[in-house]
Structure 1
């Protein structure tokens, strides 16, 4: 039977698990087996000696670890050896032994002759289930076991009273102690002869020393030695020589001295058992410590100070010459055969020096060095000195000094060291000596230990942390590099002095005074910041801020610590161009400069700069401007204000962004502006100069329609599509050139050759990414004036704004990198509020709520979509097919009413999306989705809710796919939806759900959706009442907002033709949508030709 099976119930699970880990990891570094015992060394926190012995049913074991010494039970080291024995099939128990009868007995460091245990072991215990306990059978097992236990205990008592067979001796060797700078104890064994004389002393092997040579004190001492001391060798000295270090020395030595068997020399050991040894063994005399005291005097010639040291206790004094072992670290010394205690003061270091080298001789001229050494060692209080070395002790508050050092470049944490200066004296480590030097000779300060402790605690409270450097095996105090500015600023405010890399930190003085001066077409900003008497020009300050540094290097080599509010306030000033001693801003940047300096208490503007600033501030009082007489539309007041604002920008040669809410008529305002420019040139007899309007392809036709409707005098050129090369020569004779972003990318060079009056970008968020080809091409365009139209100029991040404004006013927001550094994306940041204020003259934005009084309750608009090439090709193919099949029947086409209705249905579907006709074409672009989705996203970005209606659920399904790709949440309702009320409630109450897709049949009537204020009708129903019902889902009682309704119509399709019929033959148009056979039967050939044209 293996040992582990028998002993497992006697060891706790944690011990077994850790022991198994030791066995697997190779921690058993020495393994010496014998037939009935095993000797091993297991390496853990130290090297521990383990012994296992097998005696019948009993397993005896010992280990030199502290756990075994304290608990006398199986430890992890013993269990590792048990498993190793099993692995090597050693110390096997007979299978006839029941596992429950096996006992583990601690052997108290074992014996030298394990085969004699059955006869001589005083702790022999009859094991469970022994032969004596089983001879009488089960019925009398109890009383037989009791008798056996009584006999066993009686035998053990008798053996305890046997005469000792020997003893252990402890030799304290002064020579080795001095050489190794430790207390060295050698354990010896000495047998007792029958004639009463002691035998030959031998070096003990404390891992297997006979119990008959030990008493209880020896067992305790050896347990402590194995648990707390180290032994320096193997071979015959294993576990015989121990080095005592540190506090454990004061714990173990009294026990050893208490045995009266500790000697400093082998000759002191008595030869016979009865010989008196009281005068020769080492005694413990350390209850009251001796104090080391320095005696400093001049030599007879007066040229040197003589430093001597005595050990004093009360009235008694002990010369250093009597000390053979001096251990300041442990606070003990050996004087003859006495171990004495030493008060651990700074004077012990002097005592050790004097004991080893004799009295010190120090030249009188080096008295300052001597005085400093006395203070540094903490011995000044324990010294008798001449008058010239005496000092006056004062009590002052220390000044904390923090030194930061980076262990390597780009370190994430800096090492922190705290020292203290008293009355201007040199820096001192924390709480090392009771007295410290000051700046005044012979004046020392009493160390304020509690004040220093609070300072150190304060350092930890503001962010410093303790960490362990396992590589260098030392504890470090560190400050995270990211926390350094805050920590330094906090501590300096509290009176600390802080330095890094040998450079001191200085706090900033008052906020710099700034001055704005005018140049030819620029403005200069000047100012200086002060840090403790050192000044720094504004450009260097901004340079540090741009590098995201919290400090600026000063002229004297110290660091100026930038206040956090300075970083926020001055960072946007980096939009200017730094010169030697000032920052230069362009004329277009004066508004930004004014906004950035508005909150500054002391800024001076020269006369010219102040005049420009005042004119810009007048932007809030710009008067509305009427459109020219040739403009056929009517502008509302907010639109006429936009015209006045555009005139204001033109006067300053500024570009601007009209960012009104969707549906407020930005297109119409721009057409009124361009018509006014045409009229002005015509009135003044100036040659025509074209303006360029770049739009998304999906709205090109709308611009054409709106221009024809509201500004018929404008000569509009469509510069897009395949035939535009032939149109290039007509650009100069046109008033307005309409083009697309795709054309701009492809024809950037050709368009850049033309100097336009206005360059207008519709849906200007298209160029939000400054690195796209469209954005780069837009910046190449030449125009005297520039405008951008966008309801959402900032879609995702503040960088979107830079690209648009680099087109409008190049250089206004400096370079993209400087802009990104200067402004954060946080909508609540001070920088972003400053940016909004600075750009106020250049951005005009009105929401529906702001102009609500000027709007009708419901605004309806038709959006005409121009089919792209693939969709147009499919539609034309389908149209031609039905023209051949229907109109080719000269006389009987009227009888094919089902074919007519099918043709009209298919053509309507093809006008919406090719995928509705042919599922294989779901990836073909749809003009309606291309114009719808951007408007939906714009409405969402502006905080609105929208309804989208279609009579084709398959079309809504395709729209859902597009919205899912863009990550837009929505609600959906068709005839199969069960929880109609839940869907409606979710849309009405959830602010994050901003779209509701609804099929005509399911939601055309009966729903209350007043949370929405935008309605999009994807496919015309040609029934005004039906469309009105859909719009009335939101435009009804309870609606507090103005409603915008958009109807999407595909150009040159059956949708346009039905609108024409609707105006001429309402009954016929209704029939087409309601499938009224009687009306279709009356359809004339020319009507069908119109529908299929």
Structure 2
């Protein structure tokens, strides 16, 4: 992550092009990185590159003027294209564009290819219907949860070499012995080019991760207990009730409570009413801000941490899983008058790159970048920041590593500090401990290659 996969891939396509394989080439990447891919193609190659994305009308315009070669009568010339490389998003492939399926692609590069880890995902199904001669997968995290996910990537690359998932799992499913690990590494070695930051950039300062255990506030304890007791009363009545709460929902409610009680439906109004009463109607001018901060242990910590980071000249990335949690943080930043940018799943592609550029320019006054771990944690470059706060951890620890790599990558000249906020003695702590075990699989199979 942050080792120049994009530029290496573009250089590879340019070399193939120079040898006489003139494309067409296809690049499939997350929406946040599309503009960067186009920028790098224009910087490093002479190839004619188009971005195929947007509304139906804009795609039809691209098809009419930028994609196909026509003869003097205006008829399409089969197999002749105006472009050398086409960049598109996963969403375009999922939306089943017949015009992309008709093209015989000489090479496809799939960025953040761990999107293909699920054997039954619709994306893999869509790609199988495309004519792809040569496939290159780019990912910083090929092994995330289980060996089955690795099989999914290998089967896509070489279906003839890896035909049966059952056979593969029989050999490597449990990975209990060193012999199994070595055998798997021998299979992967010819197919995988793996580099670590320390191999490529000797001067990159190490990142330092600090786990900060945060106490629940009294308000949070009250809601945390209520969530558990409400569900316990359901459970203790015995099974058979149609309105039994889903335990996954219970976990989600507990996670919301650990982040901020405002995320629980109806809590904000009650908390504000209680806070108003406790002030005996002598309301401070920043009443809403104080109520918001005092309600959640994590926000109390953020409120103490950010002024110190600002005074030290640092720039901060804050990652959360929940868009509504980012809304609360955004509200906090506005009231504290901190300048910020934000990327989550609702921010459109062209606006994402504009936000990154505003934050990254040398004289930028932006102090905080709010990011959703899934939308903003992939493929983007934010080396202007040197502090990363993981507001709430992911079940999949590789997603958090991807998030940290937004600022800890080649081009980073400062030491990177990562603060991971975890609520003490809560479901969140247990979840983090379980998720951390998954990193052992990656370490055993890949780190020693």
Q: TM-score, normalised by structure 1?
A: 0.21
Relative contact order (alpha carbons < 8 A, sep ≥ 6): 1 or 2 greater?
2
Q: TM-score, normalised by structure 2?
A: 0.47
Q: Flag the structure with higher helix content.
A: 2
Q: Compare CA radii of gyration and give the structure with the larger one.
A: 1
